[in-house]
Amino acid sequence: MAEHLDRIAVRGLRARGRHGVLPEERRDGQDFVVDVVLGVDVRGAARDDDLAQTVHYGELSDRLVAVVGGEPVDLIETLAERLAAVCLAEPRVAEAEVTVHKPQAPIAHPFTDVAVTVVRRRG
């Protein structure tokens, strides 16, 4: 039988970072927007109304923002991987879908969004 996975989502989490390949991106920084969708079995938490049996998305958000504001990387692909690892470090998270948006990407044409999405599973 397949593992039961419910979804917990945090969307539109904003943080300032210095990621990118251009010197001005590293120097000036820019805003990044992160969406995470976590695969978690929340039945025990719902049954017992117990936060300890699920993911504290406020504390997780603090850790994600710290990564975005932390050590710079060239690629948002690398940043997405790091954020997925933070999500999977939560013992109750079996799967993490992480999207990193770079709305101020250095593109010389009008655009709405640049984003990378990674999906990672435990084990």
| Catalytic residue set | 102
CB–CB of 114/99 below 8 Å? no
Instruction: Supply the DSSP symbol for 87.
Output: H
Which string of DSSP letters, residue by residue, matches 30-84? EEEEEEEEEEE--HHHHHHT-GGGS--HHHHHHHHHHHHTSS--S-HHHHHHHHH
Output DSSP code: residue 111. Answer: -
Q: Which two tokens stand for residue 24?
A: 């001005």
